[in-house]
Amino acid sequence: DAMVIQNPRYQVTQFGKPVTLSCSQTLNHNVMYWYQQKSSQAPKLLFHYYDKDFNNEADTPDNFQSRRPNTSFCFLDIRSPGLGDAAMYLCATSRDSFTDTQYFGPGTRLTVL
Amino acid sequence: DQQVKQNSPSLSVQEGRISILNCDYTNSMFDYFLWYKKYPAEGPTFLISISSIKDKNEDGRFTVFLNKSAKHLSLHIVPSQPGDSAVYFCAAENSNSGYALNFGKGTSLLVTP
């Protein structure tokens, strides 16, 4: 009964080659988030959508973009991946406000060659 | 700048004993705190939370304590079970600044039989 699904689980890309990570949810939640977690580091919020409203964190590089074509799906686009972008990317959802529990997907581990 | 700190990367506890995981924060504007648990190859899952208006919240074997003056919170697991072995992330939010969850780097708990 997966609620937050991320595909693929492992992604390998080349330096500078655009890559898209996918997240879908079956919870019908309003809010979807993308986090980046580098090795031995805390997950870091990149951006979130409240419905169709996009909210970028101030320190998220321009190299990272996101799309949310409908309630269920959200994509993370990395336009020109660098070696420093290798990380686990976590998608999460919450029903509404910040105090609502965030449900995380299993993550996509990105390797940049 | 890490605003949520988990200074113990790992902790080992015997089955049946108490596990105490600690977390410190620097931002006095944080008013909601959460603990997430993460098994390998899975995303973090919500465990327990506490609002800044409380100093204790209990859910079964899990209790979170909040000391606002010390900017410190702790998670107590009693009694510890081998299935509790996981990475535990502390997270904090400021309800006035949007949806960002600020995570610590995590503490890896091992409960030995």
- Kindly report, residue by residue over A67-107, the tens digit of the pLDDT: 999 999 999 999 999 999 999 999 999 998 666 789 999 99
Nearest by CB to residue A90, choosing from B43, B95, B98, is: B43
Contact (CB, 8 A) for B73 and B56: no
pLDDT score for A98: 62
Q: What is d(CA A14, CA B54) in angstroms, rounded to the nearest whole number?
A: 49
All residues of chain A having their beta carbon less than 8 Å from the beta carbon of residue B46 are: 101-103
Q: Which of A13, A11, A8 is nearest to A79 (CA)?
A: A13
pLDDT tens for B53-77 read 999 999 999 999 999 999 999 999 9
- Specify the range with the lowest mean pLDDT, choosing from A62-71, B23-32, B68-77, B94-103: B94-103
Nearest by CB to residue A48, choosing from B32, B89, B99, is: B99
Cis before B9? omega within 30 = no
Provide the pLDDT confidence category of residue A40 given band limits of 50, 70 and 90.
confident
Tokens of B36: 């997430």
pLDDT score for B34: 94
